[in-house]
Amino acid sequence: MKNRFYFKLATIVALILALLLPQGFMLDLVHERTTWRYQAFDTVERSWPGRQTLAAPVLVVPYLLTCNSMEKVFTEGKGEQEIVKETTVRETLYIIPKQLTVRSSLENSLRYRGIYAVPVYNSRIEVTGEFSTQALSTLLASRKDCKIRWEKPELSVLVSDQRGIATQPDLLWNGGKIAFQPSSHLPGTEQGMNAPLPELPSGEAVRLPFAFTLDLHGMQGLHFALVAENTDVQTSANWPHPSFTGGLLPETHDITDKGFTARWRASSFSLNVAGALERCSKHECSSLLGPTVGFELVQPVDIYQQAERSIKYAVLLIVLTFVALILFELLKQLRIHPIQYLLVGMALLVFYLLLISLSEHILFLYAYSAGATACTLLLTVYFGGILRSGKLGLLLGLGLSVLYTVLYVILQSEESALLMGSVLTFVVLAVLMLATRHFDWYALTRQSEQDAELVTPK
C-alpha cells in the first residue's frame, strides 16, 4: 500500500484532535471544582461576616424648623384677609468629620468547609477625628426668619455587615464615654451602630473630638468609606498577597512575605463626598458606603488557576511527544501502532487528573511533582518498550521531565506567564526545525513504506 506513512500521519493527527475532548473534560472539571469552592465561601459567609466596608462616623442632628408665612383667606363679611400661618417641618443635618484618622491591624486565619480553605480575619480598627459645629451656626444664620429647635443628636457609623462587630464599642466624645447601640439609624440602611450625644453648642463654631476602637470580623476584603473632609487611613495585615481596590490606590505601601502595610490620604474632593451626603439627605444614606478604598485578600495564582493554565499546555506536550515518536519511527525504522500513540496521549492527560485531585489535599508543588514523576516514570518504561531501547526511553523521559519543569516555572509566573509560554513554544519549534533541517523527508518516508511492505504478509 503506497502512501502508508501519510495515512498513518493523518491518523496520528486525528488522535491529537480526539485527545482534545478529554482535555476539555479536564477544563470542565476545574470549573466544576472552582464552583464548589465558591459554594464553600458562600457557606462560610452565611455563618461569618462577609466583605466589610466601614464608613466614617456621621454626625446626625435632627431639628424642627418652624417658619411663619402670610396667607390670604376669604371669609364672609370680612372679605379677603391676610393671616399668619405657622408651619413646622422636621429636617436632619448631616455633618462629616473635619479630620478623620483610621488605624487598622488585621489578623488573618482560615476556616475550612470540606477540603476548601476560606480566609477570614479579625481587624482592630482605631478611629479618631473631630467635628466642627460650623454647620449649625451656618444653618442658624441662613434661617433667621424661622425658629430652629434642636433635637437629640447622635453619631452614626455604617458597617456593611453588622454581624462582624465582635464587642460593643464605646465612643469617646468630647472627653466623655458613650456606649454604641446597634443599627446606624440612617435612612436607607440599618447595618452599623449609633451613639446618642449630648446637646451640641450652636453658637460659635467649636471643635468636638471623638475616638472609638472597633473589633471587626470579616472575610476576603476590608474597605473604608472616606466620608470626611480630610482622611488618613493606615492599615496592616499578615496576608502577603493584597489586591488594592476602590476609588484610590494607596499613597504608600509595603508588601513582604509576612504581610503588608498601606496608607491612603484623601480629601472630600477626591471621591465626591458631597454627592454622597446630598443623596443621604434624600433618604439614601447607603450611598455613604460608596466612595471607598481598601484591599482584597487574594491568592495570586490558586491551585485551580494553575491547573487550568497547565491543562492549556497539554496539546503542546502531546504534539511534542508524538513528533519525537514519529522521528524515532523514521530514523530507527520502527513501527509504532496508533493504539500506542493513543496510550501515550492518555498517559500525558492523566497527569492533569492527578494534579487536580492531589493539589486539593497537598501543596501544589508536591502535587505537581508527584503527578509529573508518576507519569514520566510510566512513559519512560513504555517508551523503552515500544522503541526497543532503554536508552531511547530514558532520553524521551528526560526530555519530558525538562518540559514538566519548564511548565511549572511558567505556571508560577503570574505576570509573565504568556511571555514565557510563547518563548517556550518558539524555542521548541526552533530546535525541532534546526535539528531536522538536513533531513531528506522523502527518503525517510519512502524507506518507512518499503519496510512496512516487507513485513506485510502477501
Instruction: Single out the residue in 247, 268, 297 at which a domain terminates.
Output: 297
Are both 10 and 114 inside the same structural domain? no
Q: What pLDDT score does 124 carry? A: 93
Domain that holds residue 339: 4-39+303-455
SS3 at position 333: coil
Q: Give the count of domains, the chain.
A: 2
Are both 186 and 284 inside the same structural domain? yes
- Amino acid letter for position 233: V
Q: What pLDDT score does 55 carry? A: 87
> What is the spatial order of strands in the sheet that 230-237 belongs to?
176-179, 170-173, 207-219, 116-132, 99-113, 230-237, 259-267, 252-256
Q: What pLDDT score does 70 carry? A: 62
**Which residues does 438 contact at the CB level (< 8 Å), separation at least 6?**
none
Are both 33 and 160 inside the same structural domain? no
pLDDT digits (tens, 9 = 90+) for 187-215: 888 788 999 998 888 777 788 899 999 99
Q: How far is CA 255 from CA 192, 233, 239, 242, 297, in A?
A: 31, 17, 9, 8, 13
Q: What pLDDT score does 1 carry? A: 44
Mean pLDDT over 305-309 rounds to 80
Are both 359 and 246 inside the same structural domain? no
For residue 45, tell me if it sits in a domain. Answer: no
Closest CA to 296 of 262, 342, 334: 262
Are both 387 and 264 inside the same structural domain? no
For residue 34, tell me if it sits in a domain. Answer: yes
Q: How does the average pLDDT of the chain come out, rounded?
A: 81
Instruction: Single out the residue in 236, 264, 297 at which a domain terminates.
Output: 297
Q: At what angle do helices 338-359 and 314-331 cross, to 10 degrees?
A: 150
Are both 93 and 12 inside the same structural domain? no
Dihedral sign, Cα of residue 148, residue 153, residue 155, residue 160: negative
CA atoms of 248 and 267, how far apart (whole Å): 11
For residue 260, tell me if it sits in a domain. Answer: yes
**Which residues does 313 contact at the CB level (< 8 Å), separation at least 6?**
407, 410, 421
Which H/E stretch holds residue 446?
helix 441-455
Are both 26 and 94 inside the same structural domain? no
CA atoms of 172 and 176, how far apart (whole Å): 5
Are both 247 and 324 inside the same structural domain? no
For residue 113, tell me if it sits in a domain. Answer: yes
For residue 46, tell me if it sits in a domain. Answer: no
Whole-prediction pTM value? 0.68
Instruction: Single out the residue in 255, 273, 297 at which a domain terminates.
Output: 297
pLDDT band at residue 366 using 50, 70 and 90 as cut-offs: confident
- The rounded percent of the chain whose pLDDT value lies above 90 is 17
pLDDT digits (tens, 9 = 90+) for 95-107: 889 999 999 999 9
The b-or-e profile of 270-302 (16+ CB within 10 A means b, else e) is bbebeebbebbeeeebbbbbbbbbbbbbeeebe
For residue 47, tell me if it sits in a domain. Answer: no
For residue 219, tell me if it sits in a domain. Answer: yes
Are both 308 and 431 inside the same structural domain? yes
For residue 44, tell me if it sits in a domain. Answer: no
- Label the pairing between strands 52-55 and 221-225: parallel
Q: What pLDDT score does 101 carry? A: 94
> Is the Cβ–Cβ distance between 266 and 294 less than 8 Å?
no
Are both 133 and 274 inside the same structural domain? yes
Are both 285 and 374 inside the same structural domain? no
SS3 at position 214: strand
Q: Is the pLDDT of residue 330 over 90?
A: no
Are both 141 and 280 inside the same structural domain? yes
pLDDT digits (tens, 9 = 90+) for 108-138: 887 777 677 777 889 999 999 999 888 888 8
Q: Is the pLDDT of residue 175 over 70?
A: yes
> What is the spatial order of strands in the sheet that 52-55 belongs to?
52-55, 221-225, 292-297, 242-246
| Higher pLDDT pick, 20 / 197 | 197
SS3 at position 374: helix
